[in-house]
A and B are shown apart, each in its own frame.
Chain A
Amino acid sequence: MHISEGILSTPVWVAGYAGAAALAAVTMRKMDMEEIPKISVITAVFFVASLIKIPLGPASIHLILNGLAGIVLGWRAFPAIMLGIILQAIIFGHGGITVIGINTLMLGGGALVAYMVWQLRHRFTINRRELIFGALAGAAGTISSGIVLALALVTTGEAFNAIAATVLAAHLPIMFIEGAVVGVAAQFLLKVKPEILAGHQTKGG
């Protein structure tokens, strides 16, 4: 899910840059030294995820994994995704240079929504809540990115309802797969290294 260069009008992609820069500045504040290796690793995972083809019927899709970034990095997922998108644009030609801002808002914004959904798990005491909320966060990351994509395309003169319907329909299978992958990843990380998960609280603490 990347918007290509040459579709959006100049004010829209400039606004995308401004919005992405502002959010990056906020989400990067007071970063600890210990967080940096974790952020680098997740950035690398996000960077390569778009290249991993999953066959689906006659075509194939690729994972976005912005939800995974959200549940591991929390607010820091935003700068991580920004760096990932810059490198995807330069090295892989995904999207383009002018649309780095809007693509960061789209996928990074999705990661932030995923994190918010992930944090809701603290209000529940159900079994396997990390699996369930990880899956919900993964799906939420995809859906909210789809909504930002539809909003961005509205500025090109397309009707929101129509474009949102096509975008969401196209991303429905990805949403389910992302949900499954992020849910399983959350469950796995909870077992092997719970402190890597964003917002993890040790018992009693």
Chain B
Amino acid sequence: MPLSKSHAVFIVGLLLAIAAWPAHAHKINMFAFAEGDEVFVEGYFTDGKKPKHSPVLVYNAAGDILLEGQTDEEGAFTFPLPASAPIRITLNAGQGHLAEYELSAEDLGLDAPGASPLPSSPAANGQQPSTTLASGLSDEQLQAMIRKAVGQSLRPVMRSLSELKEQRSFSDIIGGIGIIMGIGGIFLYYKARKMLAEAKSAERK
């Protein structure tokens, strides 16, 4: 069978798919995580643009709006740690682009009841509940500062993780094309069976 033009189109499509890998579409993504006593939210388009001044809504478990805000120039938004969990955050980037993100009690560091906002360290357990350090900061203040600093330095890591999660692999693309060809094959099989059955009944006559 000579190579038909539809085969050629298919091969071109396949080559384009390969050229596009690893590929992103124009899609809004977001991530959020607890940073000390605040929650940090950042949205981004897969092509690198930032959703500026886009409305952010935070919902509680019952679906009521806890608070609303807007992203800044960098597509980021920060709000105080809520008292209850889980929460659902949505970012509406306009033109039908909406991203959602859920944070559980564990994500927010609220899972140990009564321990909030900060669990005491094992060393301090049962001993002096609050020691004052040389800097004049209490144990709690120091822990809060550490949490905040660690949270802030985690931002690029969270961003990369989120981007990695959204990246489509070559096998995804080939898998999708395979499904399309497979469905085409099923249709053909069904049609061919019908044709054969018709041909047979015509022979008998």
Contact = CB atoms under 8 A, between A and B. Distances in A.
Given A7-B98, A36-B187, A91-B172, A48 B27 contact: no
Counting chain B CB atoms within 10 Å of each CB, which of A84, A88, A92 scores highest?
A92
B85 interface: no
Interface in A48-66: 48-53, 58-62
Interface in B15-72: 16-17, 19-21, 23-28, 45, 47-49
Given A92-B172, A196-B5, A39 B184 contact: yes
Binding site secondary structure of chain A: helix
A153 B97 CA distance: 11
B188 to A, nearest CB: 5
B184 A40 contact: yes
Contacts of B47: 53, 59-61
A176 B92 CA distance: 27
B16 A48 contact: yes
Given A41-B10, A52-B20, A3 B96 contact: yes
Contact of A36 (B16, B48, B92, B191): B191
A172 interface: no
B98 A91 contact: no
Given A44-B10, A91-B176, A192 B184 contact: no
A42 B5 CA distance: 12
Contacts of B27: 2, 93-94
B122 interface: no
Nearest to B23: A51
A53 B20 contact: yes
Contact of A6 (B9, B13, B25, B90): B90
Contact of A59 (B23, B49, B172): B49
A192 B24 contact: no
B192 interface: yes
A23 interface: no
Given A4-B99, A48-B13, A170-B95, A91 B28 contact: no
A109 to B, nearest CB: 15
Interface in A1-25: 1-7
Nearest to A193: B5
Given A59-B48, A59-B49, A93-B27, A41 B172 contact: no
A33 B195 contact: yes
Contacts of B24: 51, 53
Contacts of B175: 91
Interface string B164-194: 0010100011011101110110011001100
A153 B5 contact: no
Given A48-B17, A53-B24, A59-B45, A38 B176 contact: no
Given A41-B10, A48-B13, 20 more contacts: A2-B27, A5-B98, A6-B90, A6-B100, A7-B96, A36-B184, A36-B191, A43-B180, A44-B176, A45-B13, A51-B17, A51-B23, A51-B24, A51-B168, A88-B176, A92-B172, A94-B25, A149-B95, A153-B96, A193-B5
16 contacts: A33-B191, A37-B6, A40-B181, A40-B184, A44-B177, A45-B9, A45-B10, A47-B180, A51-B23, A51-B173, A52-B19, A62-B25, A88-B176, A149-B96, A166-B94, A193-B4
Interface of A: 1-7, 31, 33, 36-45, 47-53, 58-62, 83-84, 87-88, 91-94, 149, 152-153, 163, 166-167, 170, 189, 192-193, 196
